Structure 1
């Protein structure tokens, strides 16, 4: 099976975590027919091969990015303007998606980038509480409830074909959790931290070009 076939099979059967803390809801876009069509278009376009890829591991999808379109770090605007995939989603921008596609273009554009890299997250499904995005680590009880789920879902994705070195998109709680998880389960040989795209866009926008260069330098070292 190609990378695309494995990914599409995975998302069509993705598990939904159970027994979550009260008030926590799961973002599950994959039962939407438009999302399904877009996933097929995107992954068959960029992942129609069997080449191993470097995993870039975010926190969990947000409402206006992967939680909406089904494609990690890709909001409806980037979906149309950068990937030329028409869609009828509410064209709300996501800060992380803006940074990611500037970085992708610096590396050589979507075709070059997606041939070598695969976006996922610690939790492949996102969460909301009281209508707001929720990170898996924001509530200790949520993080604890998710651990077995997180490990199982990551192992399923590793079967697509993963290189030994992965990157954490997040230098604080995300990399700390990933390193603990990796020490127990030996998922990767090494996980390298990178500053989270949203943090860059929200707090270090004046240094945007510097961070794009940091990503580009570190990621291109993994390209064969």
Structure 2
């Protein structure tokens, strides 16, 4: 049975979808996808299953990846991870206007979302079952939209011009504030610098804010041991949900290298 908190989270997501639906964006963006509309069923199922009570830590991503939440409606929602680890599979329709090189295939998508594979793979390794992780943790995205250029290239919302970014951030800020009001986390951890920046601005007075390395394949450090790097970031903050991975994965020398790299990132801000 869905809890009141989960129902309120669903209502907040619906409001966010309504608020961003009419926003306009200019070139190089040619297509904007709204997963909270066409993939609402799996997104609602994710909230109902895992947004059931207060959390100690909320992990905050930036926006849907092209082969993750864009396909499944679930944050960092690589298809296999959502279906096999999170145990969610639900109908997904299509965007109103679809880029020919970036079709939405839902759970039939065969492309892997590397970021999602890394994140949920680390969670599965550390906790074993999704329910154990979500007892104290939650994963959300700050922005619900997918932006695509004419070439099919992904465009991230942090690169939007200020006049287009401002109304989007206003809607996303309201949603993030409501999420934190409902889940009452001690920590909000940005997955990457922009998510951390938005969390600090919006909910810095309500929760402690930190960041971990983004699991993107564009990051050389992430490609050389993302789970260890994320664990080192969390340990440096005093948040240790992935701490076991420092011992469980990779040779000790590699872990120390990642720790030092994480320390340099923290020093650099």
Q: In terms of mean alpha carbon deviation, does 162-171 or 141-150 score higher? A: 141-150
Gaps of 5+ in 1: none
Structure 1 position 150 matched with structure 2 position 172: yes
How many positions carry a matched residue from both structures?
Answer: 214
1:206 aligns with 2:224: yes
Distance, in Å, in 1 between the alignment partners of 2:66 and 2:221 is 20
* In structure 2, C-alpha distance between the alignment counterparts of 1:196 and 1:46, rounded to whole Å: 22
User: Normalised by the size of structure 1, how large is the TM-score?
Assistant: 0.79
TM-score (normalised: structure 2): 0.67
Q: Which runs of structure 2 are paired with 1:172-183 in the superposition (5 Å)?
A: 173-179=194-200, 181-182=201-202
Q: Give the superposed CA RMSD.
A: 2.8
Q: Contact between 2:122 and 2:227, CA under 8 Å: does it hold in 1? A: no
Report the equivalent of 1:95. 114
Does the alignment pair 1:139 with 2:160? yes
Check the 8 A contact 1:100/1:197 in 2, yes or no: yes
Q: How does 1:1-224 map to 2 (within 5 A)?
A: 1-13=3-15, 14=17, 15-16=19-20, 18-23=22-27, 24=29, 25-32=31-38, 35-47=39-51, 49-86=52-89, 88-108=107-127, 109-130=129-150, 131-141=152-162, 142-171=164-193, 173-179=194-200, 181-182=201-202, 186=204, 188-199=206-217, 203-211=221-229, 213-214=231-232, 217=235, 218-220=239-241
Deviation at 1:198, TM superposition (A): 0.8
The structure having more radius of gyration, on CA atoms, is: 2
Distance (whole Å) between structure 2 residues aligned to residue 189 and residue 31 of structure 1? 30
SS of 1:128's partner is strand
Q: Distance in 2 between matches of 1:219 and 1:199?
A: 23
Rounded to whole Å, the distance in 2 between the matches of 1:22 and 1:212 is: 35
State whether residues 56 and 187 of structure 2, in contact with CA within 8 Å, keep that contact through their aligned partners in structure 1. no
1 CA distance for matches of 2:9 and 2:110? 25
Q: How many Å separate the matches in 2 of 1:215 and 1:101?
A: 17
**Any stretches of 5+ residues in structure 2 without a counterpart?**
91-106, 243-269
- Structure 1 residues 70, 86: CA separation in 2 closer, same or farther (over 3 Å shift)? closer
Q: C-alpha distance in 1, partners of 2:145/2:240? A: 24
CA distance in 1: counterparts of 2:188 and 2:160, whole angstroms = 25
Return the structure number with greater relative CO, CA threshold 8 A, min gap 6.
1
Cα distance in 1 between the residues matched to 2:124 and 2:234: 10
